[in-house]
Amino acid sequence: MADNNIKKWYVVRAVSGQENKVKAYIETEIARLGMEDYVSQVLVPTEKVVTVKEGKKIAKDKVYFPGYVMLEANLVGEIPHIIKSITSVIGFLGETKGGEPVPLRISEVNRMLGKVDELAVNTDTRAIPFTIGETIKVVDGPFNGFNGTVEKINEEKRKLEVMVKIFGRKTPLELSFMQVEKV
């Protein structure tokens, strides 16, 4: 029985702002139906955002991918249907109309879970890994694969201003440290 119970990660589209409710609904429903063997994890990737309000620092969890809930599951039998019928669930990401939900590739899962882990690490303690004038490569976002030069470093926001050549023109981009790596 357990041998063919192979779980993969899927993305469930949820009503934006309802991600944590959807996570709770899914967990409650799966427990009620005794299907924990098939759905092992429900995850809402978040990042800590520190805001200053009236002179006080307030750390808040901000949803990293608004409208998306991650699900590690073996979608057999009724499970996709059960999940889709949960309040505030729009459906699975990557499914064709009436087709099968498409699992995430391992590399995508690791990147996402890695993001969550990196964000969980206290970011303030790390030294700035970049220097002005250094060549870096964009590894995340719409400019993935482009090389650029570090123009400015914003330590507080942990962002870089990078000059990237796009269609022969130099274009400044603001990127987080997570979106670039050394060449």
What pLDDT digit, counting tens, does each position of 38-64 carry?
999 999 888 778 888 888 888 788 888
pLDDT band at 69 (very low <50, low <70, confident <90, very high): very high
Instruction: Give percent of the chain with pLDDT exceeding 90.
Output: 38
Query: What's the pLDDT score for residue 96?
Result: 65
Greater confidence (27 vs 139) lies with 27
Query: For the residues of 71-100, what is the DSSP string, one character each?
Result: EEE---TTHHHHHHTSTTEEEETT--TTSP
Fold classification of 2-121 is: Alpha-Beta Plaits (3.30.70)
pLDDT of the residue at 122: 47
Q: For the CA atoms of 78, 80, 86, 91, what is the dihedral angle to 10 degrees?
A: -150
Q: Do domains 2-121 and 126-182 have the same CATH topology?
A: no
Dump pLDDT digits (tens) for 139-150.
Answer: 887 788 889 999
Contact 172, 151 (CB under 8 A): yes
CATH code given to domain 126-182: 2.30.30.30
pTM value is 0.56
Q: What is the pLDDT of residue 8?
A: 92
pLDDT at 73 > cutoff 90: yes
Percent helix, strand, coil in the chain (nearest 5)?
25, 40, 40
**For position 116, what pLDDT does the model report?**
54
Helix extents (H) in the chain: 19-32, 79-84, 106-120
Overall average pLDDT of the 121-141 stretch: 74
Domain boundaries, the chain: 2-121, 126-182
- Specify the pLDDT at position 127: 63
Q: How many CB atoms lie within 10 A of CB 73?
A: 26
